[in-house]
Amino acid sequence: MITCKDIILRDFKESDIETRVYWETTETEWQLWDAPWEYEGLTDGERACELKKYIADMHMWAEHALNLSADARRYSFQIETSAEHKYIGWVSSYCIDDAYNYIDGDGMRAVGIAIPDQTAREHGYATQALCAFIMYLLDCGENEIYTQTWSGNMRMIGLAKKLGFEECCRKFGTRTVRGVQCDGLTFRLNKEHFRIVYENIIGRIHD
């Protein structure tokens, strides 16, 4: 677990599943920004099948987290507020290859964040959470950190630049969002810039 000012990063747990289902089925505004092409055009039947698989996966995540040792490396965390212990979203990571495409295996580490709880936005939680997660990965030995988004997601672009990410690849017109062609963007972390931002924003305590 990582505690930093107003938020806590922790492992996934069984009680998170109900909230995740709510975010998938009811409070879905976040899906307009977080890889929206994955949700567009799905039929009700396809959504139901995807949700069933997702719930099964989440039960496995919770069981896996229970068996992790305290010093085992994590590649994702759940975000909750430190004052109310309210679950608000997650940070995660995945690997990309030299062409900045997703790969299922070892590669360059890319990070992402989602805060579906709209009441939790504009409080600095996303900045703190992504800052803490990036520093955790650097401390674990990751040499380079990337993040990816699309050209219409101005909030994520702004957060990335704030933390010291610099655009390193733009794939023109590779994403279609709500009928509009958008660019796929990849940013590489400027670690010197990031460390300055980190020291200004976060005082971190390991539990």
Surface-to-core class of residue 18, CB atoms within 10 Å of its CB (0-12 exposed, 13-18 middle, 19+ buried): exposed
Rounded alpha-carbon distances, angstroms, from residue 170 to 26, 44, 144, 162, 192 = 33, 33, 18, 19, 23
Tens of pLDDT, residue by residue over 52-93, are 999 999 999 999 999 999 899 999 999 999 989 999 999 999
CA distance 106 to 101: 12
CA distance 107 to 97: 6
Tens of pLDDT, residue by residue over 84-125, are 999 999 999 999 999 999 999 889 999 999 999 999 998 999
CA distance 150 to 183: 6
pTM of the model: 0.91
